[in-house]
Amino acid sequence: MMKFSNACLLRITITSSVVLSVLGHGRLVYPEGPERMTTPCHGECVVGNLVDSNVVDPYNFNWFTSGTAPGCTANGQNTPIGGKFCEEVMQPTLKSLDQLSNPTFYRDGDCENSIAMYLYKNDTKECAKDMQYRQTEVYKGNISASIYASNPWFVPGTAPLVDSCGVLGGWKYSNARDYIAGPGDGFYLESHGEGGVVNGAMPPKNMDPPAGTLGSTVLSWEVNMRMQNAQGDSVAAYPTVWTSGETVEGSYSLYANHGGGHQYRLCPLDNLINNTFDETCFQAMVMEFASDNSLFIATSDDGTTTVNITFDAMDINDNNTDGVMPKGSTWRKLGIPPCINAFTGNCTGPQFTDHAPPGYYGSYFDVAVKSPDFEAVTNRWKVVDELKVPEGLNGDYVVSWRWDSEQTPQVWTQCAIVTIVDPENMLGDGDSGDNDKDNDKCESLNDIVCGSQDFILFCDALKAAKLDSSFDKETWTFFIPNDDAFEKAGEILEPLSNDTVNNILMFHAVPGKILNSDDLKCGEKIEMFNGDSSRTKCINSAMYQNGAGNTQFLSSPQIIQTDIKFCNGVAHVVDGVMFPKFS
């Protein structure tokens, strides 16, 4: 039929990200976690005093370990502000004022406030004297004098966790009321304005999963449901596909801003199975920040970007502290400053102005504690960091975002599963830049496919299909199954005649058109070279290219690598063989 040729003049480019970031309400905005983690309320439950018309699913902000501090055992308890969490609590390793989110914790008049009073047994004079002393010490750089100095952020990464993917509601309490303000007299103290808060409300009605569920349990459900749905076929890649060695985005959003800092870490999904899915695993693979900046992004309801501010980030590591955990890793202070008045609930300014987007400060669970600009973007914002995917990884990994709180004895963690592809196993040379455009030798489809180690079977199929010279006069879009895909379909393909196999092969090509990933529209049909149509399906943020025969034989092939340019067209990699309708 057609014949391949090498006489072409473009250079291949690979942009491997199929998946665009979707702004959710979760703590970890991107990559996005399983649905039961990101929307435990499914948009249907209302949470006591956390009701906020802009937050559809407020409990998706509540995956954390409550009652934990550096050197102590996690216990789900609250401590009064300023108290030591336990006798063994570690001395702060942070060294400078700008590493704190809340350098200011005392202002004149604060001791008339009941929370401050609680510490000093209603002795207003003693309170004012001690608070003034502590504040002066901290301003001089004596970090250990902070009333928050016992909390996780002061020794980054050291406070123990119950689960590296969080606990819904912070702890597995036996009494539902404990979720409001902790066990014991927590609720009494909180309702008298004296104690701290765990979730600030009863767990909502109709929540699935229920409060107390471990994040890792939700991931196990996710993995097992995918296996059951695949019915014995190897399962598809996860919706977020990253390439080893590339720079990707991670983003988070906050509901209540307790200050502190964060990190993104990885652990192989396999470790979930053998009980080694813990901080040791995640701390062995911290993702490096790929730039010194963070991005503050806000969107309107329809997803249009309305605010886009790049700002200098504040990095914290062994070089500017007395040590972080894991050793040699880098943490980053949260990019949103809390309000300057911690106790009065009346926001008059930001705690800091460096390393933050100008004008955006406070928490957003209450109008009184955020700036007007921040109020205007409500829950539709995120802070984006560029992260480096470590070299040499291949397979499914869990990303855990860890936020060590400064004002409270709490650590937030939330997880997502991503598929990481090693460029060694990718189509093409894995070069994603246009940086040597003037290299004038372009590659043919045949060169690219037959030169990549994971595409031997498609290479053989191309060679077997006797392509004539019209092939390189036309333009083409190809969907190319990798070797795994052919192996999965082996039993179906083997008994078929050469003509039928050829027909299937031609069902992977679109003649006369260059369809880049941007041109593939969810739900739309594409007429393929054999005359049948395939359809682009989108599920969450994953894209599939489906043939009528796929429902009969194998589940829809997912597009796992996009926009590989060859001389006269573009190719996308699919993880399954596309089948036309069989007669």
Relative to beta strand 569-574, strand 476-481 is parallel
Q: Residue 122 or 470: which CB sits closer to ligand NAG? A: 122
Residue 6 CA: distances (Å) to CA of 11, 42, 444, 473: 12, 53, 5, 12
**Residue 391: φ, ψ to 5°:** -70, 155
Q: Residue 11 or 370: which CB sits closer to ligand NAG? A: 370
Q: Residue 328 or 512: which CB sits closer to ligand NAG? A: 328
Minimum gap (Å) between residue 327 Cβ and ligand NAG: 9
> Is the peptide bond prior to 209 cis by the omega test (within 30 degrees of 0)?
yes
How far apart are alpha carbons 236 and 421 in whole angstroms? 13
HEC string for 182-211? CCCCHHHHHHCCCCCCCCCCCCCCCCCCCC
Torsion angle of the four alpha carbons 181, 212, 260, 300, in this order, in degrees rounded to the nearest 10: -100
Minimum gap (Å) between residue 523 Cβ and ligand NAG: 25
Q: Residue 142 or 220: which CB sits closer to ligand NAG? A: 142
Cα 330–chain centre separation = 18
Q: Residue 171 or 296: which CB sits closer to ligand NAG? A: 296
Minimum gap (Å) between residue 345 Cβ and ligand NAG: 6
Among candidate residues 437, 363, 438, the one with its CA nearest the CA of residue 405? 363
Minimum gap (Å) between residue 268 Cβ and ligand NAG: 5
| 360 neighbors 296 (Cβ within 8 angstroms) | yes
Minimum gap (Å) between residue 277 Cβ and ligand NAG: 9
Q: Residue 174 or 275: which CB sits closer to ligand NAG? A: 275
| 124 neighbors 111 (Cβ within 8 angstroms) | yes
Residue 10 CA: distances (Å) to CA of 253, 448, 567: 42, 13, 5
How far apart are alpha carbons 100 and 405 in whole angstroms? 11
Q: Residue 113 or 530: which CB sits closer to ligand NAG? A: 113
Q: Residue 49 or 305: which CB sits closer to ligand NAG? A: 305
Q: Residue 280 or 469: which CB sits closer to ligand NAG? A: 280
Q: Which residues contact 207 (CB under 8 A, 6 or more apart)?
A: 40, 41, 45, 59, 168
DSSP label at residue 437:
T
Minimum gap (Å) between residue 562 Cβ and ligand NAG: 18
End-to-end CA distance of the chain: 23
How far apart are alpha carbons 201 and 67 in whole angstroms? 17
Minimum gap (Å) between residue 423 Cβ and ligand NAG: 22
Minimum gap (Å) between residue 276 Cβ and ligand NAG: 5
Minimum gap (Å) between residue 241 Cβ and ligand NAG: 20
Minimum gap (Å) between residue 219 Cβ and ligand NAG: 15
Positions in the binding site for ligand NAG (CB under 6 A): 121-122, 134, 137, 142, 144-145, 268, 270-271, 274, 276, 297, 305, 308, 317-319, 328, 330, 344-346, 464, 498
Q: Residue 59 or 507: which CB sits closer to ligand NAG? A: 507
How far apart are alpha carbons 145 and 163 in whole angstroms? 30
In 76-214, alpha helices (H): 114-119, 124-139, 178-181, 186-191
Minimum gap (Å) between residue 357 Cβ and ligand NAG: 12
Q: Residue 91 or 551: which CB sits closer to ligand NAG? A: 91
How far apart are alpha carbons 418 and 264 in whole angstroms? 13
